Structure 1
Amino acid sequence: MSPDFQHYSFRMPNIGFQNLPLNIYIVVFGTAIFVFILSLLFCCYLIRYICAVCLEEFKPKDELGICPCKHAFHRKCLIKWLEVRKVCPLCNMPVLQLAQLHSNQEHGPPQGPLPGAENIV
């Protein structure tokens, strides 16, 4: 350093979080609110009703198959899935076990076809 500046002490002032100027708060919280709103819009755009088996969106005239756990899929996709695995593609719960449990809670012992069977097959 030059001899002129040897007498000066250069230290950063001790500014705590509570001592920041108001414009810093406005910028930080304004940015946070903007990012939050932007993320909500982005998430709402991404949330669409799709078949978890084929990953295509449901169209208005698509025929749906609904498992007893109330998850919906394209009927053809669900039939193909249930030929390989007898569980719901989303929650991995056994389809027949859920249908029997649902039937036992409402009507006692199952009589006739299981509830939801008309939607899955």
Structure 2
Amino acid sequence: MTAPGEEAGAVLDLPVQPGLTMSSVRRALTAALADLGEDHLYDVLLVVTELVSNVLDHTPGGGWLRVLRRQAPCVVTIEVDDESTGEPVRGRSRLGEHRGRGIVVVENISLEWGIRPRSDGKTVFALVSCAG
């Protein structure tokens, strides 16, 4: 997902376990991406919140969050691994009628998002532009 010859640098790499607070994740990302414009940072924080919340709310066990940044063009890649083979479902949640819009939000904000199967679950990823 990076251009030939260009590496994406890790911004955040941490386990997603019950008890993880989104406020601590957002603080760490805000510090790590302090040079981003306010709107771009908000988009990244929103996508991270939705994808990490999905792991905590809908999958057994925990997962892993990786946030990578490529400079040219500026793109932030969010990857969340989990142990479930179930795919995110747009617009529906077993947690109630006012839930289930997270993947729609991710889809609308991201340049691209998707799912990569793994032998022990899946990785849900999203690419968010930080250019301009």
TM-score band by shorter chain is under 0.3
- In the superposition, the TM-score normalised over structure 1's length comes to 0.25
Larger Rg: 1
The structure richer in helix per residue is: 1
The structure richer in strand per residue is: 2
